[in-house]
Amino acid sequence: MSIWMLIGGLLLQGMLGYMLFMVVVFWGGGLANGRSLALWQIRVLDLFMFIVPGASFALGVVLVVRYALDLPAFSGWWHLLPLMLFLIFAVYAARLPRR
């Protein structure tokens, strides 16, 4: 992996993290305001608010370390980690009870 691919990947991960933060916050806020949820369900939504975008920024650190140690094998697949966490959030949010 070249340094330019690393820089491009870091920029795109930063933008993805910001976008996922906005989606999770507004989706979770809409769910919390429109439904009567238990306190633990609201806490899980709050936890996703930090985990999903935080994965994008933690992934940036992982990619830089892997680049510094010259371990480029499968480095492209790391970019799917925040999207998989967002998919877990989406499934959780879609399965909340409708009241």
Q: What pLDDT, in 10s, does the model give residues 78-99?
A: 888 999 999 999 999 999 887 6
Within a domain: residue 32?
Answer: yes
Q: Domains in the chain: how many in total?
A: 1
Structural domain includes residue 26: yes
Write down the pTM of the prediction: 0.83
Residue 45 in domain: yes
Confidence of residue 77 (pLDDT cuts 50, 70, 90): confident
Q: Is 35 inside a domain boundary?
A: yes
> Over the stretch 29-50, which tens digit does the pLDDT of each residue have?
888 887 788 899 999 999 999 9
Residue numbers of the domain that contains 35: 3-94
**Which residue type, as a one-letter code, is found at position 87?**
L
Spatial CB neighbours of 9, under 8 Å, sequence gap ≥ 6: 63, 79
pLDDT confidence of residue 74: 66
- Residue 36 forms part of a structural domain: yes
Question: Is there a domain that residue 99 lies in?
Answer: no
Tokens 């935080």 belong to residue:
54
Residue 52 in this model has a pLDDT that exceeds 80: yes
Q: Flag whether pLDDT at 1 surpasses 80.
A: no
Q: Is 85 within a domain? A: yes
Contact 11, 63 (CB under 8 A): no
